[in-house]
Structures are given as C-alpha cells and as structure tokens.
Amino acid sequence: MPEPDSRSPTNLFDLSGRVAVVTGGSRGLGREMVLAFARSGADVVIASRKLEACEALAEEVRSATGRSALAVVCHVGRWADCDALVERCYEAFGQVDVLVNNAGMSPLYDSLPEVSEELWDKVQAVNLRGPFRLSSLIGARMADGQGGSIINVSSVAAERPSPIEIPYAAAKAGLNNMTIGMARVFGPKVRVNCIQPGPFLTDISEAWDMEMFERAAASSIALRRGGQAHEIVGAALYLASGASSFTTGAVIRVDGGIG
C-alpha cells in the first residue's frame, strides 16, 4: 500500500500519538480545545483549579473519543503548582507535544488607584508568570526531545485595552512579547505561537449586558457578533499540528475583525 501523504488536509491536522496539555481546560475555550485535540487523536491533560470539573471533562473525552485523559488540579499562578503539573504530565505520558497556556483571569475593580497590590500580583501571576514557568520547563524538554508546539492564549486587550482591564491587558501584552522571545529561544524544534481572541460568548459573558454588547458589536466588530467557543478550534488545531510547521513567533487574531 502507498504511504499516506503527510501533506493531505486530514494528515496535516492529525495529532495521533501526541500529548496535549491545556490549562484552564475544563470550561470555555479551553474545553473546546481539549475536545478538538482528542478528536484529532491526541491524549490530553486537563488542568484547572477545579479538579471535579477537570475529571468530568476527562471522562467525557474517554467515552467520546477513546483517548487517554488526565485531570490535574493546578493553580498556574503558583510556581510550585506549575512544577508539579509538568512532573505529573511526564510521569503519566513520558512526553508533552502541545502546551496551551489558556488559563486567565481579569477581576473587576472600581478605579486604578483602588487596584490593590494583591489584585495586581494575582492577575500577573495567572496570566503571565504561570505561562512563563510552564513554557520554560516544557519548552526546554521539548527542545531536548522531539520538539513540539506551545500555544499562548492572549487577548485583544493586549493591544486595545479598555479602562476596566488594565492589569489584565498589561499581562497579556507581556504574553505576546514572551511568545516572540521564546520562539527564538526554543527554535528550531519548538514552535511558540499565540492566539489573540476577541470577545467570545463563553460562561464569562453571562455577566455581560448583552444588549449593550450587541450594540457595540454592530459598529466595532466586522462580523457584528461575539464568537462561539467552538470557533477557537480552527486556530488551535492549526498551531498544534503539522499544518503550521513554518509558523512560529506569530500572534494570530481570532476576534471577528475588531476595528
């Protein structure tokens, strides 16, 4: 029989034999990426602060796709938790081929002078420090081994921050910068890229004033709407797979065309 064509669309996006780790993986965009990776053949590690939610998704992955799924409780803002997550992944699977730094947080505040040191540090820890630590540890192992793909999840706030998310925006701008730097550090065997989402209608959007959002979207977003969580999957599969073999240090907007 002829060898399969590695350039065919099906094979380009195939993740069979690979292990993908997704932080913030139990809900929202992370959940959709976990399911997409498993459907494409990857074994998955689902990490978040809520072990029960991770375990429920892990069981869904196993029953729906037959892939192995490991649930790990991890607060990525804590250095020790990041170290423990890395060790757990390699103990369970012996490899990590895809790391998605998806966990994030953006707590509300009344005014900039009222932003506490604790809030600032917490936002930087989850959105920037954790991805730095995980990428440093896993990226180094990938570079010493068979290579891999690191995907950071940023935000349009990194370039166009609103008044209510300055600490978060600063952290995400740092994540964009880190993406470019680490692509140079870990190349040529490891690709490091970033997805920069716009507004997605996940569980977080349940707190939004949707009438106000829809009015704003009609004038400021080319597609005139927010994204659905599954619409992140195309970019994630592209960056995780061989389809993006010549893409690194890139920040890819998935924002509906925000002006």
Radius of gyration (C-alpha) of the chain in whole angstroms: 18
* Domain residue ranges in the chain: 13-253
CA pair distance 225, 213, nearest whole angstrom: 9
Q: What is the pLDDT of residues 123-158, one digit of tens each?
A: 999 999 999 999 999 999 999 999 999 999 999 999
The residues, ordered by sequence, that sit 6+ positions from 176 with a Cβ below 8 Å of its Cβ are 152, 154, 158, 194, 196, 251
Q: What is the pLDDT of residues 52-82, one digit of tens each?
A: 999 999 999 999 999 999 999 999 999 999 9
Catalytic residue numbers read: 154, 168, 172
Out of 2.40.10.220, 3.30.70.120, 3.40.50.40, 3.40.50.720, select the CATH number for domain 13-253: 3.40.50.720
CA pair distance 249, 187, nearest whole angstrom: 10
More confident of the two residues 135 and 213: 135
From its phi and psi, is residue 74 left (phi > 0), alpha (psi between -120 and 50) or beta?
Answer: beta
